[in-house]
Amino acid sequence: MYSDKVMDHFQNPRNVGELENADGVGEVGNPTCGDIMKIYIKVEDDTIQDIKFKTFGCGAAVATSSIATEMVKGKTIEEARELTNKKVAEALDGLPPEKMHCSNLAADALQKALDNYLGIENNNICDACEDISHHHS
């Protein structure tokens, strides 16, 4: 069901934890499946120097968080802004359709952390929630 890459990132997630004095923090939750994701970023010279995540959720949620943090570490804010859920899923060699919303969470949490760093107010805790028409069995 899952690619080797998904399993690898699930079993050996990268960048787990939290950053004490994070420059930006983004948290998203999906009430439908109960997944919660929090991403912390440390920014220097417009570049993401460090990034950590904490995810409470399924294996796909952990794997997407892990690869998303890998994909933007060392990148500029502008480059990180271009990370989409599609790119996250592709980097993991695809996700089962019923798990695609997990990649939305990772990209959304990152974008919220960037918003937080840039001082953009975003009070809607879950952008993905309205788009989800399926439920976990």
Residue count of the chain, please give it. Answer: 137
Paired tokens of 116: 């937080």
| Cβ–Cβ under 8 Å, residues 117 and 42 | no
Catalytic residues: 33, 102
User: Which DSSP state fits 128?
Assistant: S
Per-residue pLDDT of the chain (137 residues; tens, 9 = 90+): 899 999 999 999 999 999 999 999 999 998 777 889 999 999 999 999 999 999 998 899 999 999 999 999 999 999 999 999 999 999 999 999 888 888 889 999 999 999 999 998 765 545 444 444 333 33
Domains present along the chain, CATH in parentheses: 4-119 (3.90.1010.10)
For helices 59-72 and 4-11, give the axis angle rounded to 10 degrees: 90
SS3 content of the chain, % helix, strand, coil (to 5): 45, 20, 35
